[in-house]
Structure 1
């Protein structure tokens, strides 16, 4: 079985609730909150687990919110390892106005992860000898420029297939240090090439320009409700997103990465890797809050593509 490790540098506890009517300066009465373990890599591990495979999620956890995070990950049945961080784990807040069905998402800033704490967690990851390493989610600005360089140094010639789903300068740093797969959207793809925007008919040439410029084998461009495209140096694939009743987009991107990584671990073809990604991402939008997807929904959608 392919050994998959996910690394979440900036995890969170997601607190979800509903309310009726948003009125400034009024007390807003909310429903009983639901708590979920959040953070890119953790969500990817949850997705892989739901598809019937196993990965190990690595993440820092600090303070009472960190303890809650660990209990939530354990409840999901995900294998995990942590290091204790001095800074408390963050808590995000997601609320839906039942009168309009509008969703409000409040993301809290990254707690400070020290360089020593990062080195400690990366050493634990290395000792697992992963075949696939997923680095997903936001990254603290202070570490963004060194994380992927350090990963390359630690693993050396035994570097696993590195799958990256992040944004901003961190994504460029990842490419500069060599990755197997990245998943930018249109805007992120343009930024990586120093462009203001990319037209739909320019996506393929832009993605293949990245592959040629950097040590990267696969670029998956997510296109939201339209679907996604996958490129390597020789091939181009497009999968349209299926029509579903959308309830929440939280976790859809992580679900997509989870589906692709699971398919990759099964030695699936490139088109099947993309189909599983689109199926899992679309299935996640069928659920409220941050619940990701149900396996039966993802399987049904996959066979409809």
Structure 2
């Protein structure tokens, strides 16, 4: 029995080839796994809120906007387009699209995915579908109508479940800011700007330090203030008192204080406006009412007889 001998260099080349192919397949598998690691959060409807991790893709089922698509297409059905615009077919088409990516969860506590963004995704998914109309202008109008319906009926709020709020500035400080700003010495002897600390906390890690010197607060100095009794003696009169004697006997008109203070104002009638009811108009209305009452009475008596 003859056994074919394979040279050593050929065996080595085959082994290297198999190893390279295996490495390529394994690397492709790792790359695929890395691409698929970004999770997709599927929202139940196109309204309300959806929870997910930061960076996740948010998607909705096409069936959640099926009726909105149907209504948007119906808005463009008329005498000219009733044979080429098919609302039911377009509704079934979008329902068969499955999950539609409409946005993502931002790297913050939350965000929003507007109805306009969702409407744009739905309209793009229906481009070229059957039932949009025969003419390009009709197709554009139908897609815009569908986009408008979805935009008005949808809108999502995204909530990041793994968001961690950043630490407040100065949370670990040992001093406090005074009312005038600056720094204060904490229990440990260190100084620092404590303007971000909340007053009233205990333990030295919060709280506003009391002022060290109150000499800068303005105060009344003895000898500068005049007592009211000195300024207005008991037998004197207050400024502006109408009963106090004035210089000279009365004013220039010779009137006393009581008459002068009363004033000379007079009531003036307002000018007649164009809409004021005059006497002739009032008489005409009364006469018309009497004639109308007589006619009604005559008509009722005739009907009764």
TM-score range, shorter chain: under 0.3
Specify which structure has the bigger relative contact order, considering alpha-carbon pairs within 8 angstroms and separated by 6 or more residues: 1
Q: Write 1 or 2 for the structure with the bigger share of strand.
A: 1
Computing the radius of gyration from Cα coordinates, the structure with the larger value is: 2
Q: TM-score, normalised by structure 1?
A: 0.18
What is the TM-score with the length of structure 2 in the denominator? 0.18
